[in-house]
Amino acid sequence: MSVNSNDIIEENEAVTNFREYLRIPSVQPNINYDKCVEFLRRQAGSLNLPVRVLQMVPNKPIVLITWAGTQPSLPSLLLNSHMDVVPVYPEKWKYDPFGAEKDANGNIYGRGAQDMKCVGIQYIECARRLMRDGRKLRRTVHMLFVPDEEIGGADGMGEFVKSEEFRSLNVGCALDEGMASPGEEFVLFNGERSIWHLHVHCPGTPGHGSLLLPDTAGEKLNTVINKFMARRQQEKNKLIANPNLTIGDVTTINLTMLKGGVQNNVVPPELIVGFDCRLSVDTDHEEFEKWAKSVCQEAGKECWIEFQRKFKRIPITPVDSSNKWWGVLKNILVDQLGLKLKPEIFPGGTDSRYLRDIGIPAFGFSPMNHTPVLLHDHNEYLNEKVFLRGIDIYCQLIPALANL
């Protein structure tokens, strides 16, 4: 059974705000962000904090809520989250994916429950609690809500970091999204793989499907697929051989698209295969590109690669004694709160890459353990108690970082 949305008299204010945010269907593509902006303006007003709405690209608003520190000249702390969510298949959901229904176990269902409207609200509710307690922070804290992360973030964080408005924030360190963990441990991400989306074009001799024509697109395509799948298997073998590795530690290659042909009895003039490649942080980009081009040469003349995305290598954020921010984070989460913390390389892509690329330390951390990983999945949910505990954790972590 679900808890009726009207039965919220005893519900925690933070949970009520979380559920309201989830009910805003900010779904890719072609999002109208107006309702998100209006909601966040109200939240800023309830905190009596200034809010700015910036637009680097038309119809792509960036919402910035600022809590000024007592020493505003110090580099600031940035708390980043994104407003957009991925599409849904409503027929696959137990409840309305934008109904924010809460079941008898306290599980709150909704697209964005884990990715990542939860974290945006946790930032706000942490600030609310600290301000109610009369806490003062040395460093200014900026709560940032950006658009379009789910489609690469180019028009959101990607453009924002290039702006004078961003430079004026004087960011010293950033927190961004992480991922749920099914077990006791919490996962923290200090780096990301490089996303390469590529299409391999295989032109060939066209003709009648009853013939054995030379140099066909199908033969070239077969070679390309076999070579890419063989390298994929090499990476799978690394994971199998070393249980200490995670998916973020290896390069992933997945065949995601096939295009070409008009009907079964016509040999096409071209076939195209698309691959999603995520290059591990220790992969030599130049070597990988040379290898991919050599596959084309081996497949046959005139095969070529079209890059849809080709992200450069971005340095990881150090998690050692060289990074003072990591020292504070570890002290709070591990030494004081006793959490089991596991640094990893994020398997997907987040807006943190734009921050790390300009030298800002960024940590991907969503305080959700004992929670199945359901980002982009059907029936995405987050338990009420896990959500509230996350606020407790942030109420220890954020002041420590802001008072460094």
- Please tell me which residue in 101, 125, 148, 149 is annotated as part of the active site: 149
| Rounded distance between C-alpha atoms, residue 34 and residue 154, angstroms | 20
At residue 341, φ and ψ (nearest 5 deg) are -115, 130
Q: How far apart, in Å, are the Cα atoms of 264 and each of 91, 217, 261, 269? A: 34, 14, 8, 13
**DSSP assignment, residue 389?**
H
149 is catalytic: yes
Can you state the percent helix, strand and coil of the chain, rounding each to 5? Answer: 35, 25, 40
The angle, 0 to 180 degrees and rounded to 10, between the axes of the packed helices 34-47 and 13-22 is: 160
The CA-based diameter of the chain, rounded to the nearest angstrom, is 82
38 is catalytic: no
Answer for the pair 166, 99: CB distance below 8 angstroms, yes or no: no
- Please tell me which residue in 84, 115, 235, 351 is annotated as part of the active site: 84
Adjacent-strand bridge partners of 346 = 192
Strand bridging mode 381-383 / 107-109: antiparallel
The residues carrying an active-site annotation are 84, 149
